[in-house]
Amino acid sequence: MEKQPLDILPEYVLFGSQASYDNAKVVALPVPYDSTSSYRSGSREGPKAIINASRFIEPFSYELGFDISKRVPVYTMDELMPDFSSPEHMIDRIKKEVSLIVEDKKVPLLIGGEHTIALGSLQALKEKNANITVVQFDAHSDTYEELNTTKYSHGSIMARARELYSSVFQVGIRSIDKRSFDIVDRKTLFFIDDVRREGADKVGSKINKACKENIYITFDFDVLDPSEMPSVGTPEPNGLKFEEVLAMFKEIAKGKNLVGADFVELTPIPSLEAPNYLAAKLIYLFLGIFFG
């Protein structure tokens, strides 16, 4: 007999129901890792908080008009064991896992954890298919050549991504180092002011027109305004609204093929549940928009 809603609490997996691995379109990999955080640490608690909150999302989305869980079967893997010996080792471990997911023709979805973990995914995908556009949602450009003596830190992730991929877009940025600011290509990096002036739809549509068919999204929750999303390692004022992010997702997704994504830097604040739920719901709607 099929389990009835409300008879039992949902399973401890993303969105409360585990698809069979064979049927899964998306494979979620929780990565409870933070080690290079420079301000508030604790994003290693992010995956647990997102998974727990995600169990209580109404499966039917009135915004999209369908039950996302039915159209986008998700298999949630066990949490990946952190390797604290060095960020390079951790990135390697993630890369191996993501390679297996990609070989099985599934879309990897990393749930972080700090932003550094994205590099494992980007390296793994690059080996299979270099013809990918990377779109970063972030308050920070993360373009330090190196930070705190490592090239593999949360603040250098996009410097590394730009070495791997020629097509990269950055959006929602409102903190950037001077060197990067001086050389920035304003056609590929959209500051928050650009979004305010042009509107989220317009910026999303510009990215959609300029990017390749295959898209990877790396999403740092601090792109959101701290009034909605205070639970991040480095909260930056004047951020995007939840609805602006959804508007951009809708434009960017048009006619494109999502090959992977990561959602990083959720750093739960004890007893403050709303941001965790927001994070979970954003990921749910994201999947509905890109695969619905």
Q: Kindly state whether residue 236 participates in binding Mn ion, applying the rule CB under 5 A.
A: no
- Binding to Mn ion (CB under 5 A) within 143-182 occurs at none
The nearer residue to Mn ion, 77 or 176, going by C-beta atoms, is 176
Q: Does 34 bind Mn ion (CB under 5 A)?
A: no
Phi, psi of 18 (to 5 degrees): -95, 120
* Binding window for Mn ion (CB under 5 A); candidates: 25-33, 37-45, 140-148, 167-175: 140-148
**Beta 66-67 vs 60-61: how paired, if at all?**
antiparallel
Q: Which residue is nearest to Mn ion (CB)?
A: 220
- Token pair listed for 187: 């056609």
Binding part of the chain for Mn ion, among 34-42, 108-116, 180-188, 278-286 by CB under 5 A, reads: 108-116
Position 220 contacts Mn ion (CB under 5 A): yes
The number of CA neighbours under 13 Å toward the Cβ of 200 is 16
- Please say which residue, 147 or 215, places its beta carbon nearer to Mn ion: 147
262 is an interface residue for Mn ion by CB under 5 A = no
Q: Position 126: which residue type?
A: K
Q: How far is the CB of 231 from Mn ion (least distance, A)?
A: 14
Candidates 75-83, 100-108, 114-122, 269-277: pick the segment binding Mn ion (CB under 5 A): 114-122
Q: For 4-29, give one letter per residue: b (16+ CB within 10 A) or e.
A: eeeeeebeebbbbbbbeeeebbbbbb
Q: Which of residues 175-194 bind Mn ion (CB under 5 A)?
A: none
Single-letter residue type at 283: I
Q: Which is nearer to Mn ion, 74 or 171 (CB)?
A: 171
Q: What tokens appear for 58 in the block?
A: 């109404």
Number of residues that bind Mn ion (CB under 5 A): 4
Point out which span in 20-28, 132-140, 184-192, 279-287 binds Mn ion (CB under 5 A): 132-140
Whole-number Å distance between alpha carbons of 288 and 292: 5
Among 34, 45, 114, 142, binds Mn ion (CB under 5 A): 142
Q: How far is the CB of 58 from Mn ion (least distance, A)?
A: 30
Residues 68 and 85: beta-carbon distance below 8 Å: no
Helix (H) or strand (E) holding 189: strand 189-191
Q: How many CA atoms lie within 13 A of 191 on its CB side?
A: 11
Nearer to Mn ion, 34 or 220 (CB): 220
| One of 34, 138, 225, 236 touching Mn ion (CB under 5 A) | 138
| Residue 111 neighbours by CB under 8 Å, 6+ apart | 14, 28, 29, 30, 31, 46, 47, 50, 51, 262, 263, 283
By beta-carbon proximity to Mn ion, the closer residue of 138 and 262 is 138
- Which residues contribute to the site for Mn ion (CB under 5 A)? 115, 138, 142, 220
